[in-house]
Amino acid sequence: MPTVAIIGASRGIGLELARQYAADGWRVHATTRRPESPGALGEVPGDVVLHGLDVRDEAAVGALARALGDDALDVLVHNAGIKDGGHSRAEVMRVNAEAPIAVTEALMDAVARAGGRIVLVSSQLGARRGSRKSLGDYGDSKAALNDAVRERAPRWAERGVTAIVIHPGWVRTDMGGSAAPVSVDESAHGIRSVISRLTPADNGRFLTWRGDEHPW
């Protein structure tokens, strides 16, 4: 049975990814900050294993890696993220740029066992397109994530994994708001389709949920 880990699956795009993979018969390791009251995630039918994780908590990241034991992850999606309103710049950088790398490296053995695929959810707002000016705290954090993945992907590939960053679309979620043109269903279907088509040649790329190359 193929296995996926979705980091940040309590709502929005992560919850929909968990639903779709579980409906397709995958084993889903899904993380939430509230495992004792998981809400909609707790009602997803299928082989869904819930794990408590705040991505800022290093000890909890280590505990998740240990909880996976000898399981192999065919796919790891790091989806958790925050926007800038109401959070300090340091907090936004920590959650959006530093934690995804720490989580990915902590779970690397599990992904490597499967020769699996790693998708870090970034944003078009993190594309600098050659400009050095600030993109705001959120954009800067996603640009920093993109840079970190681009830098590390060649080394990660030596473990037999393929890693990309993805723009999920402007999606109708708590973060994207009700005016966003893309539904969670479309975004999650698109992301899953991109993942299913990844080859080692894609390692280190920045793609959209439609599978197009996104400019850095």
Ligand X SMILES: NC(=O)c1ccc[n+]([C@@H]2O[C@H](COP(=O)([O-])OP(=O)(O)OC[C@H]3O[C@@H](n4cnc5c(N)ncnc54)[C@H](OP(=O)(O)O)[C@@H]3O)[C@@H](O)[C@H]2O)c1
Interface positions with ligand X (CB under 6 A)? 8, 10-14, 33, 53-56, 79-82, 95, 121, 123, 167-168, 170-171, 173-176, 180
Minimum CB distance to ligand X smaller for 7 or for 199 = 7
**Among 204, 89, 114, which Cα is nearest to 157's?**
204
DSSP H or E segment with residue 121: strand 117-121
Question: CB-wise, 80 or 108, nearer to ligand X?
Answer: 80
Output 157 or 180, the one with its CB closest to ligand X. 180
Whole-number Å distance between alpha carbons of 172 and 112? 33
In angstroms, the first-to-last Cα distance of the chain is 35
Longest CA–CA separation in the chain, Å: 46
Nearest distance from C-beta of residue 42 to ligand X, angstroms = 13
CB of 113 to ligand X, least distance (A): 24
**Cα–Cα distance measured from residue 214 to residue 128, given in angstroms and rounded to the nearest whole number:** 11
Minimum distance from CB of 40 to ligand X (Å)?
A: 10
Q: What SS3 state is found at 207?
A: strand
Shorter beta-carbon distance to ligand X: residue 90 or 115: 90
Quote the least distance from Cβ 115 to ligand X, whole Å. Answer: 25
